[in-house]
Chain A
């Protein structure tokens, strides 16, 4: 098959190129390969000249992950919203329109309304808009046959009858128009900046799984096969062995209580599931900041000495700290600054944090607070000076895992 089918330059090629550029600028990863595929689909008239179908077809070809659907919507709006009514105009028109009676036409009358092609309709629409702008009064337009109004037979307006009509802001419509669909931005929630929810947590876990070296399976043990085959006097017997599975090592430190309460369920769930994924998994809890004791349960009834643990632990563990790092700066800088009244710490929290940082080269801090707020909270800034910090969102988690795997944690230093 001829791989690059020549496409005749369409009249509105400019709009299309813009669409491609808009997609790129919104951060949708579109390749030229996919772009050409779309042209091939359009050359085959698969969209049947409908913008709505074009919307779906282009999306299915260009966008390969639902997290980008929202950005696709925005790019689509930027490109094609000019073709439909603009919001501003819509408001003006709507404010003057009221739904009146349903339009009843005889078959003959319907025939008279010949189907115009989209270009003509648009031109018509534009012309009349200009005319009407001069008129200023829209409210007299009900039932007309030329201008915008309800129940009319002109090519614009709602509840009217014209096969090639433009529908303006009818509110509920089963055959949704493409730009309306894009405007709805129904996939906003799939956008990857959003904090993790149940569904996305599963995906996030699979990202954690990438900490595991892949390659489980069975392997033929040649030595044992020869042994048993010899014992069987030549009758071949194959011996399979499980390939050695390399393990990944993760320590999780979780902030619980206080300001983390809204997130604790989320965090807990994420990592109780992670513990089943990662073969060598350890977890501890803390409240706001880590001091000389590490909690081994959520309530803090059982603890182990932090210093002993840091000395004894293998340092090639990857460490993930989850916390909002939102606290009084004194909790980080003062001896006896801990938020718990009954708890006395000889050394300030920042010293302990730095010790942990120095022990484990591969370490990240995940913060459920949105990144834009980090700089406005003093304690977050201070913690950020010590640890590489990532947002606890799908993207942030992904990024942090990549950060851990690539060993960039070793490069991360204060002030760099």
Chain B
């Protein structure tokens, strides 16, 4: 008699567990948050002080990532840069989705003329070359960081509206929505009380994606000299200012570049994991 045999088992639960990479991403994001909140209180050196006699030096015990052309501490400036990076990206992604959620719910649930209007607006926005518009607007009108954020919010809102709308269309024919309608529940209540909670995981997943895009877009604008004012400690700005130092102190450009990439990647990994977790909990 053949003895009992056990088949190989695959794990279905692995997506919910915290993997090493997710844990690492969490740590990185927490560190960045600490940087953004405490800013100058935790920098080893004054990030704005110009030390012209030690300009353009490689990493040392005093300046961990060396100094830039004006002798400013690269490491301290990178810490200070966490605030505009996080604040900008979060404002853009949350702001864009706040608009998109309202418009998407309205167009998906109400349909008809509202739907047609909102969708044509979205088509129009999508037909525009996004980043180019941002460059032109910020370049022509000036106005700095917050104008850039506002333009990005408007640009990001259009594709996000489509995502929200399609999620709404998926929920709309479900019996629980029809039951609410036959009970006579008001339209705003159905939209915000019934549909919204059920599409939040999807919205959340895209907010996280938008965060990464916004981070890179804002850094790109700063790199081009748009958005943040000159001299500000901003990762994109640092990257553009210090790219000429690649031979004397490469760290001056590498540190902000790596931070941009790591932040975007970490946010994606954590967002992905949270999405899986929340939607599975349902």
Q: Are A and B bound to each other?
A: no
